């Protein structure tokens, strides 16, 4: 049965953060809670998936297939959307078969899984990678890892309007910029294009410089024929993707205890820790108002919950 495009318009609240280090610096931050967009199809992943679903529907496809790891927010959202809106999904996973809470969800949502090993997964960027999979699943449309690309970036521009529509509720007339975590740069590119230079986009990178994010972000903006400006990159990786230390664990714990804001250690937690560093270093002048994008996707938190608790409890030297 061909995909039917869902007429679904979710929304997420804008929440003012009350944190001591913000108050001391005289900086105001409001977080757009995309983690509350939906219990399952949460975060920026929906905005990135939507144009792929529409494109698949336009050619009469019956579903989508994509790639990710055993804790992939992208695959989790795709599988949940397939279950919610009645289309087929296939996931090509990195590594050897393993059971995680995310993998169990994927199976429960009806996603068909194929484990590629590590060598097989590294082939995903090679020409012709999708040919054998399209032969196997001719009625499914392939989506690149993370759902990135220009279509997805343009779709993410709706995030800006979602936040702007709630500024009056905070008593804000304007803001000075955005702060968000980034893995591929697709969402950041969407904000840059939507803002058209009106507000600075501060991109906290979850991967170290030189690992492709800069190139991907610039490539999407170039494809859109958009000026490669209006943003700055901040290395929030902590030395490597997935690297977690006690400072990060405490930041995540304290934000939840103080603001009820759940963060995970791969993206949003690192973005918050990097923001604190910039604020305490005096990068932002008193009176600055920032919009923090909570990109959702808490699968990494589920996977590392126990480790985060243990690390947060480590005594500070």
Residue 297: pLDDT over 80:
no
Same domain, 164 and 294: yes
- Judge whether 7 lies within some domain: no
Q: How far is CA 218 from CA 135, 215, 233, in A?
A: 33, 5, 12
Counting the structural domains of the chain, the total is 2
Same domain, 298 and 155: yes
Please tell me whether residue 28 adopts helix, strand or coil conformation: strand
Residue 277: pLDDT over 50:
yes
User: Which residues, in sequence order, are CB contacts of 253 under 8 Å at separation 6+?
Assistant: 308, 309, 312
Q: What is the pLDDT of residue 80?
A: 95
Residue 316: pLDDT over 60:
no
Q: What is the pLDDT of residue 306?
A: 60
Same domain, 177 and 297: yes
Same domain, 174 and 234: yes
Same domain, 97 and 141: yes
Mean pLDDT of 270-291: 97
Q: What is the pLDDT of residue 210?
A: 81
- Judge whether 176 lies within some domain: yes
Same domain, 205 and 238: yes
- Judge whether 6 lies within some domain: no
User: Which residues, in sequence order, are CB contacts of 310 under 8 Å at separation 6+?
Assistant: none
User: Which residues, in sequence order, are CB contacts of 296 under 8 Å at separation 6+?
Assistant: 34, 35, 37, 42, 43, 44, 45, 73
Residue 144: pLDDT over 80:
yes
**Do 169 and 163 meet the contact criterion of CB atoms below 8 Å apart?**
no
- Digit-coded pLDDT (tens) for 27-38: 999 999 999 999
Secondary structure in 3-state letters for 150-193? HHHHHHHCHHHHHHHCCHHHHCCCCCCEEEEEECCCHHHHHHHH
Give the global pTM.
Answer: 0.90
Same domain, 292 and 158: yes
Q: Could you say which of 147, 165, 189 is where a domain stops?
A: 147
State the CATH number of the domain containing residue 221.
3.40.50.1100
Token readout for 58 is 């336009």
Residue 282 — pLDDT band, cuts 50, 70, 90?
very high
Residue 309: pLDDT over 80:
no
Q: What is the pLDDT of residue 300?
A: 61
Residue 9: pLDDT over 60:
yes
What letter would DSSP give residue 125?
G
Same domain, 69 and 27: no
Residue 285 — pLDDT band, cuts 50, 70, 90?
very high
- Judge whether 9 lies within some domain: no
Residue 301: pLDDT over 70:
no
Residue 299: pLDDT over 80:
no
Q: What is the pLDDT of residue 2?
A: 87
**Do 169 and 14 meet the contact criterion of CB atoms below 8 Å apart?**
yes
Q: Could you say which of 147, 176, 207 is where a domain stops?
A: 147
Same domain, 29 and 176: yes
Identify the domain containing residue 77 by its residue range: 44-147
**What's the mean pLDDT when you consider all of the chain?**
91
Same domain, 238 and 271: yes
CA trace torsion 202, 217, 69, 304 (10° rounding): -10
Distance CA 206, CA 216 (A): 14
What letter would DSSP give residue 84?
H
Q: What is the pLDDT of residue 317?
A: 46
Distance CA 296, CA 191 (A): 16
- Judge whether 240 lies within some domain: yes
- Judge whether 68 lies within some domain: yes
Same domain, 222 and 178: yes
**Do 103 and 113 meet the contact criterion of CB atoms below 8 Å apart?**
yes
Q: What is the pLDDT of residue 59?
A: 96
Q: Which residue bears the tokens 């804790």?
A: 71
- Judge whether 227 lies within some domain: yes
What letter would DSSP give residue 285?
P
- Judge whether 5 lies within some domain: no
- Digit-coded pLDDT (tens) for 151-182: 999 999 999 999 999 999 999 999 999 999 99
- Digit-coded pLDDT (tens) for 175-225: 999 999 998 899 999 999 999 999 999 999 988 888 788 999 999 999 999
- Digit-coded pLDDT (tens) for 226-246: 877 899 999 998 877 777 788
Q: Could you say which of 147, 175, 202 is where a domain stops?
A: 147
Same domain, 205 and 287: yes
Sheet containing 63-68: give its strands across: 112-115, 88-93, 63-68, 140-142
- Digit-coded pLDDT (tens) for 56-90: 999 999 999 999 999 998 999 999 999 999 999 99
């Amino acid at each position: 049965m061909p995909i039917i495009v869902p007429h679904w318009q979710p929304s997420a609240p804008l929440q003012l953060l009350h944190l001591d280090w913000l108050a001391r610096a005289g900086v105001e931050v409001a977080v757009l809670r995309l983690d509350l967009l939906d219990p399952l199809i949460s975060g920026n992943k929906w905005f990135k998936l939507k144009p792929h679903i529409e494109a698949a529907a336009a050619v009469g496809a019956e579903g989508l297939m994509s790639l990710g790891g055993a804790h992939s927010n992208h695959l989790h959202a795709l599988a949940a959307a397939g279950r919610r809106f009645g289309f087929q999904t296939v996931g090509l996973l990195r590594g050897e078969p393993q059971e995680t809470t995310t993998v169990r969800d994927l199976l429960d949502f009806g996603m068909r899984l194929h484990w590629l090993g590590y060598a097989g997964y590294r082939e995903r960027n090679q020409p012709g990678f999708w040919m054998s999979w399209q032969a196997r699943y001719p009625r499914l449309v392939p989506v690149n890892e993370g759902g990135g690309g220009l279509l997805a970036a343009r779709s993410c521009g709706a995030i800006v309007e979602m936040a702007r529509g709630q500024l009056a509720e905070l008593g804000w007339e304007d803001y000075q910029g955005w702060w968000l975590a980034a893995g591929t740069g697709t969402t950041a590119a969407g904000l840059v294009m939507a803002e058209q230079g009106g507000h600075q986009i501060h991109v906290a990178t979850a991967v170290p410089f030189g690992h492709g994010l800069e190139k991907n972000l610039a490539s999407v903006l170039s494809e859109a024929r958009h000026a490669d400006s209006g943003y700055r990159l901040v290395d929030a990786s902590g030395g490597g993707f997935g690297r977690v230390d006690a400072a990060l664990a405490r930041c995540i714990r304290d934000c939840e205890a103080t603001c009820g804001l759940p963060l995970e250690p791969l993206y949003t937690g690192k973005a918050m820790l990097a923001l604190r560093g910039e604020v305490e270093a005096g990068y932002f002048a008193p009176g600055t108002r920032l919009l923090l994008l909570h990109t959702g996707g808490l699968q990494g938190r589920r996977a590392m919950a126990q480790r985060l608790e243990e690390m947060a409890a480590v005594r500070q030297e």
